[in-house]
C-alpha cells in the first residue's frame, strides 16, 4: 500500500519511514466506512502498528493516524493472534 503521511499521523511519535515500511509490508489491510482503510503492519523491530489511511482513488492513500496496535486488533491477524 502506497501512502503519503498527514501531520496527524505523527502525533503518537511514529515517524514517516516507519509508517511507510509498515504499510508496504502490511499483514492486514481492510476497508472501513467513509473511505478509510485500516492497515496492520510491523515496523523493522516487529512492533505491530495500526495505521488508518484515507483512500483517494488513484492517488496514494493518506495516512491520518498511526500508533502501536492494541490487543483488540489481534483478532484480525492471520491466526487471530
Residue 18: band (very low, low, confident or very high) from pLDDT cuts 50, 70, 90: very high
Report the C-alpha gap between 46 and 37 in whole angstroms: 21
Give the predicted TM-score (pTM) of the model: 0.91
Q: Is 50 left (phi over 0), alpha (psi -120 to 50) or beta?
A: beta
Report the C-alpha gap between 19 and 41 in whole angstroms: 9
Domain ranges of the chain: 3-70
34-74 residue pLDDT tens:
999 999 999 999 999 999 999 998 899 999 999 999 999 99
Amino acid at each position: 500500500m502506497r501512502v503519503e503521511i498527514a501531520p496527524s499521523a505523527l502525533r503518537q511519535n511514529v515517524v514517516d519511514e516507519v509508517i511507510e515500511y509498515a504499510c508496504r509490508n502490511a499483514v492486514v489491510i481492510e476497508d472501513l466506512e467513509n473511505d478509510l482503510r485500516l492497515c496492520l503492519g510491523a515496523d523493522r523491530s516487529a512492533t505491530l502498528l495500526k495505521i488508518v489511511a484515507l483512500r483517494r482513488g488513484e492517488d496514494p492513500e493518506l495516512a491520518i493516524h498511526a500508533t502501536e496496535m492494541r490487543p483488540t486488533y489481534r483478532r484480525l491477524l492471520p491466526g487471530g493472534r
